[in-house]
Amino acid sequence: MTVPEYDVVIAGGGMVGASLACALAPLGLRVAVVEAVSAQAAQQPSFDDRGIALSLGSQRIFATLGLWPALAPAATAIKTIHVSDRGRFGVTRLQHQDYAVAALGYVMTSRDMGAVLQQQLTRQAGIALLCPARVVAVTTDSDLVRVSVAQDGDGQRQLTARLLVAADGGDSRVRAMLGISVREQDYLQDAVIANVSTSRRHQQTAYERFTASGPLALLPLSQGRSAVVWTRRREQTPATLALDDAAFCAQLQEQFGWRLGAFTRAGRRAAYPLRLLRVSEPQRQRALVIGNAAHSLHPIAGQGFNLGLRDVAVLAEVLAEAAAGGDVGAPAVLARFVERQGRDQRQTALLTDGLVRIFSNDFLPLALARNAGMLALELLPAGRRLLAQQAMGLAAPVSRLGRGLPLESR
Ligand SMILES: Cc1cc2nc3c(=O)[nH]c(=O)nc-3n(C[C@H](O)[C@H](O)[C@H](O)COP(=O)(O)OP(=O)(O)OC[C@H]3O[C@@H](n4cnc5c(N)ncnc54)[C@H](O)[C@@H]3O)c2cc1C
């Protein structure tokens, strides 16, 4: 058997790829991360001003990996989640003390998270970071995978590995190179994001409000700011992006109301097209697809990265078990990952899609049913508990890393 240069090559060093590299670092595996855009570049697509709601489950994974002390200073705890429907009566509240946890989750910008992950990558002796560099071709055989990488100003080189993990995002080129097909549905909506200041304190409350154009979320951020994720119908997006600060705040006020007082400042706006994308199957010979490359979800329930990090935790666990016996890219190893994580991927995608359909719809009977549902949830502790388990990222079987158990090294 030919001995490859690496055990694992990760294509994409964004939020999911970088997290995987950090999770594999203590295992003594030889890992290379190939990332197209430097973390400091303004156009870095994974690390931008997006406010990311991290579930409690994700916080626990980062804590077990030893990363939470570095992430915590940039994180704001979510103590309450408040769900409401614009112009109707239904309201549901989830409070951290009802579930005996210090917080239901945490919020930080993906830029802050990226800075910490990047710093970790450059510190780990066992990880080679190739950046800026792009995966441009892949060939696999039963022994190893060959990954052609184009590095700016440095031509092309070939890496060999036991396993290639594609974490290169929703528009994954590597997925296409592997011949993995996707099922895709365009929601014909965009998420417009902005970080805003309000005259009243957010009191560590995350708000989700359902409006005629779709859901509007305000997540608590540091320095009293909130991260807005505002779903717009695609035809509304250009006009929303063209608004000046004052007009943007006024429209937001009209949709969100006065629970946080007046909107006083709005930062830079950006829009992301929303779709549901799922791979037909995540594995090929010596290759696996994870994160947004395997499943891109609507941000309605803040599940995308949290699910991607659960992919990371389960994959790292499976690879740690395999590393002891030798071949981390063997078909049985990839099958074990699919068996353990496939259900979570399917259920989270289904749940998120269901929420989009129910909450982006202003058809009156459905709107009334949704209100009655929210009221029932407010009154029924068992229903609220199920919702809280999902929001906290604790509904799926929990990985070793999610239970606070470090992975065994070789
Ligand atoms: C508005 C919005 C709000 C969101 N809010 C939340 C939230 O609150 N909670 C949550 O859990 N999730 C949220 N998400 C989802 C979350 O942002 C994604 O799930 C997450 O970014 C996926 O990370 P990823 O690393 O898989 O992909 P990406 O972030 O797309 O990263 C892919 C990386 O691969 C690199 N790359 C691409 N092609 C190549 C190549 N050929 N070679 C090498 N590198 C390559 C890219 O440069 C990039 O760095 C939100 C998403 C949006 C749009």
Q: Each residue of 3-61: pLDDT tens digit?
A: 899 999 999 999 999 999 999 999 999 999 999 998 778 788 888 889 999 999 999 99
214 pLDDT band, cuts 50/70/90, is confident
| 42-46, 134-138, 155-159, 315-319, range with the lowest pLDDT | 42-46
CB of residue 402 inside a 6 A radius of ligand 1: no
Evaluate if residue 384 carries a pLDDT over 70.
no
CB of residue 215 inside a 6 A radius of ligand 1: no
| pLDDT for position 380 | 58
CB of residue 36 inside a 6 A radius of ligand 1: yes
Tell me, yes or no, whether 70 lies in a domain: no
Evaluate if residue 241 carries a pLDDT over 90.
yes
Evaluate if residue 405 carries a pLDDT over 90.
yes
| pLDDT for position 366 | 54
Q: What is the mean pLDDT of residues 287-295?
A: 98
Tell me, yes or no, whether 74 lies in a domain: no
Which of 50, 107, 164, 177 has most ligand 1 atoms within 8 Å of CB, for mutation?
A: 50
CA 15 to ligand 1 center in whole angstroms: 6
Question: Any bridge partners for residue 150, and if so which?
Answer: 134, 156
CA 358 to ligand 1 center in whole angstroms: 25
Ligand 1, atom 38, residue with closest C-alpha: 168
Domain count of the fold of the chain: 1
| 46-55, 106-115, 154-163, 276-285, range with the lowest pLDDT | 46-55
Evaluate if residue 371 carries a pLDDT over 60.
no
Ligand 1, atom 15, residue with closest C-alpha: 304
| pLDDT for position 287 | 98
Which atom belonging to ligand 1 lies closest to the Cα atom of 34?
Answer: 43
Tell me, yes or no, whether 331 lies in a domain: yes
* More confident call, 2 vs 56: 56
CA 259 to ligand 1 center in whole angstroms: 31
Tell me, yes or no, whether 292 lies in a domain: yes
CATH of the domain at 326: 3.50.50.60
| pLDDT for position 372 | 55
Tell me, yes or no, whether 359 lies in a domain: yes
Closest CA to 122 of 131, 113, 135: 131
Ligand 1, atom 51, residue with closest C-alpha: 299
Which of 61, 305, 310 has most ligand 1 atoms within 8 Å of CB, for mutation?
A: 305
Tell me, yes or no, whether 379 lies in a domain: no
| pLDDT for position 195 | 94
Provide the residue range defining the domain that includes 327.
6-55+110-184+276-371
Q: What is the mean pLDDT of residues 58-72?
A: 97
| pLDDT for position 87 | 61
Which atom belonging to ligand 1 lies closest to the Cα atom of 17?
Answer: 25
| 100-109, 115-124, 318-327, 356-365, range with the lowest pLDDT | 356-365
| pLDDT for position 370 | 56
| pLDDT for position 374 | 54
| pLDDT for position 379 | 55
Q: Write a three-state SS string for the chain.
A: CCCCCEEEEEECCCHHHHHHHHHHHHHCCCEEEECCCCCCCCCCCCCCCCEEEEEHHHHHHHHHCCCHHHHHHHCEEECEEEEEECCCCCEEEEEHHHHCCCCCEEEEEHHHHHHHHHHHHHHCCCEEEECCEEEEEEEECCCCEEEEEEECCCCEEEEEEEEEEECCCCCCHHHHHCCCCEEEEEEEEEEEEEEEEECCCCCCEEEEEEECCEEEEEEECHHHEEEEEEEEEHHHHHHHHHCCHHHHHHHHHHHHCCCCCCEEEECCCEEEEEEEEEECCCEECCEEECHHHCEECCHHHCCHHHHHHHHHHHHHHHHHHHHHHCCCCCHHHHHHHHHHHHHHHHHHHHHHHHHHHHHCCCCHHHHHHHHHHHHHHHHCHHHHHHHHHHHCCCCCCCCCHHHCCCCCCC
CB count in 10 Å sphere of residue 160: 15
Evaluate if residue 226 carries a pLDDT over 80.
yes
CB of residue 205 inside a 6 A radius of ligand 1: no
CB of residue 11 inside a 6 A radius of ligand 1: yes
Evaluate if residue 365 carries a pLDDT over 60.
no
CA 110 to ligand 1 center in whole angstroms: 9
Average pLDDT, the chain: 90
Evaluate if residue 376 carries a pLDDT over 60.
no
CA 383 to ligand 1 center in whole angstroms: 31
What whole-number percentage of the chain has pLDDT above 70?
A: 91
CA 19 to ligand 1 center in whole angstroms: 12
| pLDDT for position 368 | 55
| pLDDT for position 93 | 81
Q: What is the mean pLDDT of residues 274-293?
A: 97
CB of residue 134 inside a 6 A radius of ligand 1: yes
397 pLDDT band, cuts 50/70/90, is confident
What whole-number percentage of the chain has pLDDT above 90?
A: 71
| pLDDT for position 363 | 55
Tokens of 247: 């007009």
Tell me, yes or no, whether 266 lies in a domain: no
CB of residue 53 inside a 6 A radius of ligand 1: yes
| pLDDT for position 106 | 95
CB of residue 182 inside a 6 A radius of ligand 1: no
Evaluate if residue 220 carries a pLDDT over 80.
yes
To the nearest 10 degrees (0 to 180), the angle between helices 364-379 and 381-391 is 100
Tell me, yes or no, whether 332 lies in a domain: yes
* More confident call, 399 vs 369: 399
Evaluate if residue 75 carries a pLDDT over 80.
yes
Question: Any bridge partners for residue 115, and if so which?
Answer: none
94 pLDDT band, cuts 50/70/90, is confident
Ligand 1, atom 49, residue with closest C-alpha: 14
Which of 10, 16, 61, 278 has most ligand 1 atoms within 8 Å of CB, for mutation?
A: 16
Ligand 1, atom 11, residue with closest C-alpha: 305
